[in-house]
Amino acid sequence: MEHIVYVSLNSIYAVPIETGTPLPYNWQKSSTFSTSPTGKQPLMRDGFDHQLGRPQAMVYPDNHPDTTKRGQAKGVKQILIERRLWRAGLRLECRPQKATSKKPATTACAPDSRDCCAYRILELQRDFLAQKGKLQEMVEAENHSVLFYPKFHCELNFIERFWCAAKYYTRENCGYTLADLRLTIPEAFHSVSSSSIHKYYLHCVHTIEAYKEGLAYGTAAFAQRMQKNHRQVSDSSKW
Ligand SMILES: [Zn+2]
């Protein structure tokens, strides 16, 4: 059977959430995973508490004495209580703070912190660490593979150059009405040749190679390294 390698953005936005999906795909988002059950959270599949050596349901059972909780997501507080990891005064999450005249700005959780907030404690649990994203599970279930671009590195994603070329074509050829756009956008996609797409790909490969050599993006050495490849592969993208 053909083995397909998918390449995807590494983003929660690339992996849509469906209500009832039994996975903590988006559990980090406080809006969908609060300390108490709200009935709006995506339901998660069972986890496994490695410390206590037992599986843990993420949803209240259908025979729970409190009928309002039956079938509802437990929420991070209850999950941690059952794991004996909740403590009085524990905050749900660390929010980034803007700088004030008195205090400097702070990021969310400190990078080396292990128990600053409920989310950090939970995300470091073995079963949560082992949880793959929905996209990866779906692709691997069909015996294909998926690779993720590193976050915040659009220069490594050659589809960005494709979008750029298509947008350039659209800007140059559009009559600036909705009807025109509907005609121009499909034309714009077709205007980018396969050989251009291959060049965009090679450009990204060379960028990765420059990183692997330890060169920092934006430096003269990096530009020189890319220039060397540029002579081998001409880059006419408009970005
Ligand atoms: Zn934290």
**From the centroid of its chain, how far is CA 123?**
15
- The predicted pLDDT at position 28 comes to 41
Lowest mean pLDDT among 12-26, 83-97, 127-141: 12-26
Residue 187 pLDDT exceeds 60: yes
**Around ion ligand 1, which residues have CB less than 5 A away?**
94, 109, 116-117, 120
Q: Strand 145-148 and strand 5-8: pairing?
A: parallel
Check: CB of residue 123 under 8 Å from CB of residue 129.
Answer: yes
CA angle (169 as vertex; 167, 172 as ends), nearest 5: 110
For residues 78-93, average pLDDT: 94
Point out the least confidently predicted range of 62-76, 97-111, 172-186, 195-209: 97-111
Instruction: Work out the angle at residue 14's Cα, subtended by the Cα atoms of residues 6 and 159, and round it to the nearest 5 degrees.
Output: 55
How confident is residue 30, by pLDDT bands cut at 50, 70 and 90? very low
Q: What is the DSSP letter of 34?
A: -
- Greater confidence (134 vs 170) lies with 170
Helices and strands per DSSP (H, E), number in the chain: 8, 4
pLDDT at 50: 92
Q: Averaged over 161-166, what is the pLDDT?
A: 94
Q: What is the pLDDT of residue 40?
A: 53
Q: Average per-residue pLDDT in the chain?
A: 81
pLDDT given at position 188 = 96
The β-bridge partners of 54 are 49
CB 148 within 8 A of CB 171: no
Distance 115 CA to ligand 1 centre (A): 7
* pLDDT at res. 42: 61
Pull the structure tokens for residue 110: 């400190």
- Tell how far the Cα of 141 is from the centroid of ligand 1, in angstroms: 33
For residue 154, pLDDT over 80 is answered with yes
Has residue 149 got a pLDDT over 80? Answer: yes
> How many percent of the chain have pLDDT more than 90?
44
| Residue 170, both tokens | 């659209």
Burial class (CB in 10 A: 0-12, 13-18, 19+), 73: buried
pTM score, two decimals? Answer: 0.56
C-alpha 185 to ligand 1 mean position (Å): 44
Q: What is the distance in A from the centroid of ligand 1 to the CA of 79? A: 17
Q: Which pLDDT does position 178 carry in this prediction?
A: 93
d(CA 165, CA 237): 6
pLDDT of 77 over the 80 cut: yes
